[in-house]
């Protein structure tokens, strides 16, 4: 009788999920962010509820294969060829355009059709779909390449690394799965300048992670909480983008708020500053954020996805250097980071957390963990703004 009970339970669960989908579709705008997320989550649960045990194993065991095949397709520019063609393209034509063996391509294309990354127009005939078009966005293509070429290798080294450390939580950037996977003593940021192709993919991907999401300037009241209290005239510093890479954040702020007064400074290491964008009104400063902050009394010090790259003791040092430069009652720190929920963490956020563990012995943090890190540097959280939980949050810090 047990199998019958199991089937009845499963059927009840499937019926409930289908009803949930219907109710959400009829009651809400499917394009609204929260509705879209709910529909997506419910559809995924429905798919899982329909799986057989064998299908579950196939799905989990072969996760890495999809990234592998897409990475090969990127090298062959298959997605670009399909998107740029106005008509279906045959396997033979793709072989001529890429130089790859036709029989090999058929096997790769068969897989890409099965994963819905491309569509078939007929026998040995292929066309682009919406997924194909997403995969050729330069920043997102770089994300696939970065994930396969770097994150994947570090992640695959995690089982043996954690076994060797008796499953201790990694906290040393020079002693994590990355070193084991790449046979190096460098931490990731020391290794990057020696491997410019990897660094280029990483930098491109960092600019593309927000694709399809609400930007932080759309839900954080920058003018009210930063610009409104600004003092000192045009030569005073409105914002320092600490560890700001090429300056995309300053560019976005000045585009959103073009009339803001004051100076905007971009800080990063020499190799990165050399590649800074030509943003009007942006000054560049070579600076290592582990050393004393040279810009005193700025209205705001902004850090996007900096602290999630480092374990707690390093974060304490970074924040302490900023705290020492702040003017009490005036200066503030704006952190753009994930804030993990205590329950029901999204897969995207959990994936980023494991990436930080494998590559940097670092971590994504919950609200309580952010309070602890801030407090260790003499700072306090004024407020946290969040639009979509799996995306970025803004954490406003002031001196205690």
Place of tokens 């499953």: 167
Distance CA 352, CA 335 (A): 17
Which residues are within 8 A (CB) of 281 and not within 5 positions of it... i.e. 6 or more apart? 254, 263, 264
Compute how many other C-beta atoms are within 10 angstroms of the C-beta atom of residue 122: 9
Give whole-number Cα distances, 138 to 65, 203, 211, in Å: 22, 11, 11
Beta bridge partners of residue 321, listed in sequence order:
none
Query: Between helices 53-61 and 63-76, what is the axis angle to 10°?
Result: 40
- The catalytically annotated residue of 257, 308, 314, 371 is 308
Q: Is 38 a catalytic residue?
A: no
- Contact predicate 229/299, CB 8 Å: yes
* Alpha carbon of residue 245 to chain centroid: 15
Largest CA distance in the chain: 79
Pairing of strands 125-127, 119-122: antiparallel
Distance CA 358, CA 352 (A): 10
Query: How would DSSP label each residue in 145-161?
Result: HHIIIIIHHHHHTHHHH
Distance CA 158, CA 162 (A): 6
Cβ-defined contacts of 246-249 (< 8 Å, 24+): 246/203, 246/207, 246/272, 246/275, 246/276, 246/277, 247/276, 247/277, 247/279, 247/282, 247/284, 248/207, 248/277, 249/302, 249/304, 249/336
Which residues are within 8 A (CB) of 208 and not within 5 positions of it... i.e. 6 or more apart? 137, 138, 139, 140, 142, 143
- Which residues have a catalytic role annotated? 308
């Amino acid at each position: 009788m047990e199998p019958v009970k199991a089937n009845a339970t499963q059927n009840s669960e499937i019926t409930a999920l289908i009803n949930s989908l219907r109710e959400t579709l009829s009651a809400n705008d499917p394009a609204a962010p929260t509705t879209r997320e709910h529909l997506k989550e419910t559809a995924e649960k429905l798919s899982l509820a329909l799986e057989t045990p064998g299908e579950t194993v196939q799905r989990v065991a072969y996760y890495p294969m999809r990234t592998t095949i897409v990475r090969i397709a990127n090298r062959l520019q298959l997605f670009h060829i399909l998107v740029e063609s106005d008509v279906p393209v045959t396997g033979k034509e793709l072989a001529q355009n890429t130089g790859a063996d036709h029989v090999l391509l058929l096997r790769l294309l068969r897989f890409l059709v099965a994963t819905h990354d491309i569509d078939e127009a007929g026998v040995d005939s292929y066309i682009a779909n919406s997924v194909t078009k997403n995969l050729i966005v330069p920043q997102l293509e770089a994300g696939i390449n970065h994930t396969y070429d770097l994150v994947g290798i570090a992640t695959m080294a995690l089982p043996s690394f954690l076994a060797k450390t008796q499953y201790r939580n990694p906290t040393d950037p020079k002693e994590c799965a990355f070193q084991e996977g790449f046979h190096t003593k460098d931490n990731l940021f020391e290794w990057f300048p020696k491997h410019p192709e990897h660094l280029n993919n990483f930098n491109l991907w960092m600019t593309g992670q927000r694709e399809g999401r609400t930007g932080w300037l759309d839900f954080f009241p920058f003018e009210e909480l930063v610009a409104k209290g600004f003092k000192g005239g045009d030569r005073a510093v409105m914002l320092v983008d600490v560890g700001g890479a090429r300056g995309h954040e300053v560019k976005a702020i000045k585009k959103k708020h073009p009339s803001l007064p004051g100076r905007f400074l971009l800080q990063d290491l020499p190799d990165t500053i050399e590649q800074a964008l030509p943003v009007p009104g942006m000054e560049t400063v070579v600076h290592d954020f582990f050393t004393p902050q040279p810009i005193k009394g700025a209205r705001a010090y902004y850090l996007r996805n900096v602290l999630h790259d480092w374990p707690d003791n390093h974060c304490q040092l970074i924040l302490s250097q900023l705290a020492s430069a702040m003017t009490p009652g005036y200066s503030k720190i704006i952190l753009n980071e994930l804030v993990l929920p205590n329950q029901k963490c999204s897969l995207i956020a959990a994936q980023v957390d494991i990436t930080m563990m494998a590559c940097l012995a670092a971590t994504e943090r919950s609200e309580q963990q952010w309070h602890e890190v801030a407090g260790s540097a003499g700072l306090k959280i004024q407020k946290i703004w969040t639009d979509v939980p799996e995306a970025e949050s803004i954490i406003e810090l002031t001196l205690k």
